[in-house]
Amino acid sequence: MSQPLLSIDNLHVRFARSEDEVYAVNGISFDVYENEALGIVGESGSGKSVTLMSSIGLLRENGKISSGTAHFQGKDLLKLKPRQLEDIRGRDIGVIFQDPMTSLNPIMRIGDQIMEAMLTHRYASRKEAFERTLQLMHEIGIPDPKSRFKNYPHEFSGGMRQRIMIAIALACEPQLLIADEPTTALDVTVQMQILALLQDLRRKRGMSVVMVTHDFGVATNFCDKIIVMYGGQIMEMARTDQFIRRTAHPYSIGLKRSIIEVGHRGKEILPIPGASKALTEEPVGCPFAARCSFATERCFQETPALRIYGEDHHIACHHAEEVARHAV
């Protein structure tokens, strides 16, 4: 197998607070290969965004990477100086942030915002950047690019602002695109348009994508591989077809049962009991144990390792086989 484009290994991230510490990410490891789309799924606070943002140097001031590596094209991003990381971020690694209204500069014309990355990274001359910006605006579906070049973010709808964010992320033709909740706060029709656009752009460019989302439907329809996170740890990781057929972690099954799917009219929605606990203590045992009907004393005392469960399928559960039998 070829070498991964991005390889995160045993990443631990903490956030210091006045009264305690938050153990946000606890030993995350995964690889992203060329031309691959990886979906990271989980509820709010599971560590999805922190894992990726910390690996590219976008961590809050009170955040600290206590251990781990994040190799991109053979370079450990966590050991690079800020200027070296800035050269990679925005050029080789593009990022689509969660909220385009707060991520876009409200007093800067959108054309200039798209051009900015190209000029900052010396990817193109000003004339070339202008022409490429018009081309990108056309490609992402913004009509009449020349006249809309001079518009401000507030003059666009939510879906159009998200398209502008995509154009900014793709301006320098990155090899890896990180899409952090790219369809949040968009209605269903616009969501599908944005996902179709991303899929088309990904295929044309042959780039890799890591998509952070809380939506199983988005992840399974867009991604080649799925990671389910909870409590700052990976619960399940599998190729999408394997994940759909053989979901075996109690948390993954709980998430799937708690959503409405097309064709399941009249099917009862089963919420996951309890609530996720605050990550203010060093993790011991399985983070999902207190909410799991299969949990035993071992689950509270011994953290389950992410082990091979099947072909292209890994799981962190002491009782995965038993869970799978009951899930049928």
- Domain finish residue from 110, 141, 171: 171
The answer, yes or no, to whether residue 263 has pLDDT greater than 80, is: no
Residues paired with 213 in a beta bridge: 41
pLDDT per residue over 12-57, tens digit each?
999 999 889 999 999 999 999 999 999 999 988 899 999 999 999 9
1, part of any domain: no
The larger pLDDT score, comparing residue 217 to residue 133, is at 133
* CA dist., res. 255 & res. 43, Å (int): 9
109 and 81 inside one domain: no
- How many structural domains compose the chain? 2
Stated pTM of the model: 0.92
**Do 128 and 164 sit in the same domain of this protein?**
yes
Determine the Cα–Cα distance for residues 135 and 146; give it in Å rounded to an integer. 10
Q: Can you give the pLDDT at residue 267? A: 66
Instruction: Say whether both 162 and 247 belong to one domain.
Output: no
Task: Tell me how far apart the alpha carbons of residues 297 and 299 are, in angstroms, rounded to a whole number.
Answer: 5
Give the structural domain span for 311. 6-92+172-327
Strands (E), 97-200: 176-180
Helices 158-170, 126-139: inter-axial angle, 10-degree rounding: 130
pLDDT of residue 30: 97
Does one domain contain both 180 and 285?
yes
| Same structural domain, 264 and 302 | yes
Q: DSSP state, 89? A: B
Same domain, yes or no: 114 and 211? no
Write out the H or E segment, with its range, that includes residue 327.
helix 320-327
Domain assignment present for residue 261? The answer is: yes
Q: Is the pLDDT of residue 132 over 70?
A: yes
pLDDT band at 211 (very low <50, low <70, confident <90, very high): very high
Mean pLDDT over 228-239 rounds to 96
Kindly report the CATH number assigned to the domain that includes residue 290.
3.40.50.300
Residues paired with 228 in a beta bridge: 41, 236
- Torsions phi, psi for 152 (to 5 deg): -100, 160
Residue 123 near residue 171 (C-beta atoms within 8 A): yes
- List the beta strands (DSSP E) in the chain: 6-16, 21-32, 37-41, 63-72, 75-76, 93-96, 176-180, 208-213, 225-230, 233-239, 307-310, 313-315
Is 233 part of a structural domain of the chain? yes
pLDDT at 261: 62
What pLDDT, on the 0 to 100 scale, is given for residue 118?
94
Distance CA 37, CA 202 (A): 9
Q: Considering 171, 188, 212, which residue would you say is the last residue of a domain?
A: 171
Question: Residue 11 domain-assigned?
Answer: yes
291 and 164, same structural domain?
no
Q: How confident is the model at residue 221 (pLDDT cuts 50, 70, 90)?
A: confident
Residue with tokens 């991005």: 6
Mean predicted confidence (pLDDT) in 55-70: 94
Considering the domain architecture, whether residues 81 and 114 belong to the same structural domain is answered as no
Domain final residue, candidates 141, 171, 201:
171
Tens digit of each residue's pLDDT (9 = 90 or more) over 19-30: 899 999 999 999
